[in-house]
Every structure is written in C-alpha cells, then in structure tokens.
C-alpha cells in the first residue's frame, strides 16, 4: 500500500432510507502531505480537460450499458 497507517482514515455509516431499506456510506480520507510522494501535493492546481468532450451519444450509450442498481 502506498500509504502508512497514520496517513489514512476510514469509516462506515449505516442507516435506514425513507423506503425502509438499509444504506451504507464509506468515508476514506488521506492526509494531504501523504500525497506528495505520489507526485501530488495540496497546492497543485486543478486538472483541466485538454481535448474536446465526447459526443452526446457516447454518454447516453454508457448510461444504457451501465448495470441497473436496485432501488
């Protein structure tokens, strides 16, 4: 693993949704300084797209092919 134990923290929260089904949330956090040895750092500028966006059909096709999640 690229991180030491003291550089990571995680948690799980669970609860009942309004429809009565259980739902869980994971929370994973990495200390900002821990990213430096991966070539990242807290002051790094946000990444920007360098090319054109894919055509509209591409996104629609991806949504059609995505597995359906039970509600």
DSSP secondary structure code for residue 49 in this structure: -
Stretch among 7-11, 29-33, 41-45 having the lowest mean pLDDT: 41-45
pLDDT in tens, 32-56: 888 887 877 767 776 666 778 888 8
Where is pLDDT greater, at 25 or 2?
A: 25
Q: Spell out the alpha helix ranges (H) of 1-71.
A: 56-65
d(CA 11, CA 3): 17
For the record, the structure tokens of 15 come out as: 């609860």
CB of 12 closer than 8 Å to CB of 24: yes
Strand partners, 24: 14
pTM of the model: 0.45
């Amino acid at each position: 693993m690229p991180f030491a134990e003291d550089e990571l923290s995680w948690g799980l929260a669970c609860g009942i949704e309004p429809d009565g089904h259980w739902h869980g949330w994971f929370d994973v956090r990495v200390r900002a300084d821990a990213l430096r040895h991966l070539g990242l750092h807290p002051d790094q500028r946000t990444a920007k797209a360098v090319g054109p966006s894919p055509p509209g059909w591409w996104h629609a096709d991806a949504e059609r092919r995505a597995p359906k999640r039970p509600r």
